[in-house]
Structure 1
Amino acid sequence: MTRSFGRGRGALAALGPVDAEIAPGEFVCLVGPSGCGKSTLLRIAAGLLRPSRGELELRATTAHPAAMIFQDYGIHDWKTVLANVRFGLDIQRVPRKEADERARSWLARLGLTDFAGAYPAALSGGMRQRVALARALAVEPEILLMDEPFAALDAQLRTLLQDELLDLTQTTRTTTLFITHSLEEALVLGDRVLVMSARPGRIIAERRPPFGRPRTGEVRATPAFTALKAELWELLRGEVTGPGARRAAPHQGAEGGVPA
């Protein structure tokens, strides 16, 4: 599968060729340099873009198989927290009583019950992202697509939400494709980590973190975690700093991120 923007000689090759498969219930993290096509790939998976060549096949059993969560939350400022979480269910024409019950159930699981009647302007960034996560999970998607959802949060809150997401997805076993610049995040969350090249993005490596399920954030302190993080950074170093990279990045950040 490939994706280009524009036509003729001026066309920009943004992605591919990419050939990958995600198993049902698998949590796959995608890492790579900025501009390599990670978000483009996710938008193709969500049906928001079409590939220029090739195809993407979703083996789903429902009419609304995928839900997407963005870095900027994507929730509606004019709706209450409850109405935001219920939004996807309203689109699916789920009866109001059932929709309210499902929405409130997810609010409770994510610690938002007391804020059901509040508006997003009254919430912190972390709480807004919890609302976005509750809205996505309330529709019971077969596939969860997440585009750097924790990138704008501070380190402590990001770690907390990583652990919450880890717990939730291990319970629901929702198939998840998660884009991140953080190598630590990818290793904590993923069953598999796919490494992409500089633009046009191709998958150049695959690693399976050697941590069983159920997993907790305590894996961050293990020697295996540190070693695999260093290995991933070495795989990415040439892609980030090489001739095709958009900007140089002489060292890895404290959060284990791929420089933007």
Structure 2
Amino acid sequence: MGDPHPKLHATQLTRTFGRPPHQVDALGPLELTVAPGEFVCLVGPSGCGKSTLLRIAAGLLRPTTGTLEIRTSLPPDTRLRRAARPAAMIFQDYGIYNWKSVRANVRFGLDIQRVPRRTANARADEWLTRMGLADFAHAYPATLSGGMRQRVAIARALAVEPELLLMDEPFAALDAQLRTILQDELLDLTQTLHTTTLFITHSLEEALVLGDRVLVMSARPGRIIAERRPPFPRPRTGDIRDTPEFTALKGELWELLRKEAVPA
């Protein structure tokens, strides 16, 4: 039985690009339900529509057919509900503004919501401290490392207290060591906050460390063909990477993915 009140619910969702005879069926039909507080990881071959799904959830793309609904807990008539999007998105290329200071970047979503400046600064500073960026509040992104820029992007997304966090391969551009550090930081953060998260990755290790559920998508047009629940209780740490169960599940997922990647 599914959650009676899912945070995200997609039904018969499809997305096509272009027109016949050059039409590309990018996604679906796809069914997806994400429970409140759940961390769901999506893995699949390149070009299978993972990013398209995330952009539909973020309101950046419309579905061709079907629906994707995000249930918000805000009262329907609040000014905040009108000003705020229920979802915040983090991209692989950071998506932060080079001409704004680190603090102004983190405050950006709060400024859009018209949060009073003093409150917004306080919340931005709180997130800068939490992400280890307090000393860089007045720096500009060009002076930061890739890992620090991604921390700024995470702080900006979480500062607006989103009901749904969407992450599109956020650590793909980082070296392996830094990627592991940021995975562990995100694991700690999301377990503390219980933010509902939809996370796209090419890394099976990343999906198994972070996810309550790992969903495997088919080659384009992307559909969900398998679901696995990593058997690691929470709160968990990155130490699970060293367990036989982790290695076995990673191998099983790789076999599923390999079959999908071959035709592509």
TM-score normalised according to structure 1 size: 0.92
**AA partner of residue 34 (structure 1):** S
Which consecutive segments of 4 or more residues in structure 1 shift more than 4 A?
A: none
Alpha-carbon distance in 2 for matches of 1:194, 1:182? 12
Structure-2 residue corresponding to 1:89: 110
- Aligned partner of 1:28: which letter? V
Q: Distance in 2 between matches of 1:156 and 1:9?
A: 46
Which residue is equivalent to 2:10?
none
Instruction: Identify the residue that residue 2 of structure 1 maps to in structure 2.
Output: 14
Task: For structure 1, list consecutive stretches of 5 or more residues without a partner in the other structure.
Answer: 246-260
* 2:40 aligned to which of 28, 47, 51: 28
Aligned match of 1:15 = 27
Q: Where does the alignment leave 5 or more consecutive residues of structure 2 unmatched?
A: 1-12, 75-80
Task: For 2:150 and 2:122, locate their aligned partners in 1 and report how far apart those are by CA, in whole Å.
Answer: 20
Whole-angstrom distance in 2 between the partners of 1:20 and 1:76:
32
- The alpha-carbon deviation at position 176 of structure 1 amounts to 0.1
CA RMSD of superposed structures (Å): 0.7
What amino acid sits opposite 1:199 in the alignment?
A: R
* Counterpart selection for 1:120 from 141, 152, 159: 141
| Partners of 2:124 and 2:249 in 1: CA distance | 38
How far, CA to CA, are the matches of 1:8 and 1:221 in structure 2? 49
Deviations 1:79-129 (A, max 9, x none): 000000000000000000000000000000010000000000110000000
Match of 2:132 among 106, 111, 114: 111
Alpha-carbon deviations, 1:40-94, whole Å to 9, x = none? 0000000111111100011112422110000000000000000000000000000
User: Helix, strand or coil: the match of 1:108?
Assistant: helix
- Residue 252 of structure 1 is matched in structure 2 by none
Structure 1 residue 98 corresponds to structure 2 residue 119: yes
Instruction: Kindly provide the amino acid, as one letter, of the partner of residue 168 in structure 1.
Output: L
Q: Hey, what does 1:148 align to over in structure 2?
A: 169
Whole-Å separation in 2 of the counterparts to 1:56 and 1:141: 17
Q: Which residue of 2 aligns with 1:159?
A: 180
Instruction: Say how many residue pairs are matched.
Output: 243
Match of 1:225 among 246, 257, 260: 246
CA distance in 2, matches of 1:214, 1:8: 50
Equivalent-residue separation in structure 2 for 1:128 and 1:155 (angstroms): 16
Q: Is 2:258 aligned against 1:237?
A: yes
How much does 1:10 deviate? Answer: 2.4
- 1:67 alignment partner, one of 85, 88, 93: 88
Using the TM superposition, give the Cα deviation of residue 38 of structure 1 relative to its aligned residue in structure 2, in angstroms: 0.2
Higher strand share: 2
Taking the aligned partners of 2:226 and 2:28, their CA distance within structure 1 comes to 14
Q: Which amino acid aligns with 2:188?
A: D
Q: CA deviation at 1:7?
A: 2.0
2: CA distance between counterparts of 1:72 and 1:20? 26
- CA shift, 1:22, in A, is 0.2
In the TM superposition, residue 9 of structure 1 has moved relative to its aligned partner by 3.2
**Counterparts of 1:117 and 1:42, CA distance in 2:** 31
Identity in percent: 79
- Cross-structure match for 2:192: 171
